[in-house]
Amino acid sequence: MLWTLFAVFLKIGLFSFGGGYAMIPLIRHEVLAHGWVSNARFTELTALAGMAPGPVATNSATLIGYETAGAAGAFAATTGMILPSLALIILLSAMLFRAGKSEWLRNTFYGLKPVITGMIFYAALHFLLPREGLPWLTWHTAGLFIILGVSLYAMVRYKLHPLAVLTLSGLLGIAFFQ
């Protein structure tokens, strides 16, 4: 079990781009495919990982590893998740230092932007929409979309600080869902 946790999160850490939230769809797929936790529990663990300080993907790996195999599982999953990044950063920093301002490299990173944006959007939809088996078009979902719209409008139009938007969203959540 520990080796499997390590290997799965090593693969995720090696083949994912775009930061923690862009990794969530791949983590979700692997975790559900292995049957380590249910979809509902995965959502809870990922939400908890997002609230904790640090990268959400690494925090998710730690929580899923712990949920699956205790402290040793947390260590195996976390090590698997961070090892590729550590190795790649060391190698890439040496290469980028030599490559400088390569047109090919700049175009490669530019081409990854839409894919990463799509993966983040996909992860956001899975957090926004209700759990499996529930209808997605309800008053509850409408409230979520209103909070989403107000939050985006406040950030784009009024350039509100993210903490102010989080506070506003929390207050709207209390108002809508009490």
Query: Rg of the chain's alpha carbons, rounded to an integer?
Result: 19
d(CA 140, CA 69): 35
- For residue 130, pLDDT over 70 is answered with no
**The pLDDT value given to residue 135:** 67
- The C-alpha atoms of residue 67 and residue 41 are separated, in whole angstroms, by 10
Q: Which helix (H) or strand (E) holds 24?
A: helix 20-34
Give dist(CA 14, CA 49) in Å, integer. Answer: 20
Domain ranges of the chain: 2-128, 134-178
| 161 DSSP 8-state letter | -
pLDDT greater at residue 41 or residue 142 = 41
d(C-alpha 71, C-alpha 43), whole Å = 21
pLDDT digits (tens, 9 = 90+) for 44-85: 999 999 888 888 999 999 999 999 999 999 999 999 999 988
Residue 150 parent element (H or E):
helix 139-158
Does residue 160 surpass a pLDDT of 80?
yes
Flag whether pLDDT at 134 surpasses 70. no
pLDDT confidence of residue 132: 64
Residues 6 or more apart whose CB falls under 8 angstroms from that of 85 comprise 13
Structure tokens at 104: 């090919």
Integer angstrom CA distances of residue 35 from 15, 19, 68, 75, 136:
21, 24, 10, 19, 24
What pLDDT shows up at residue 100? 65
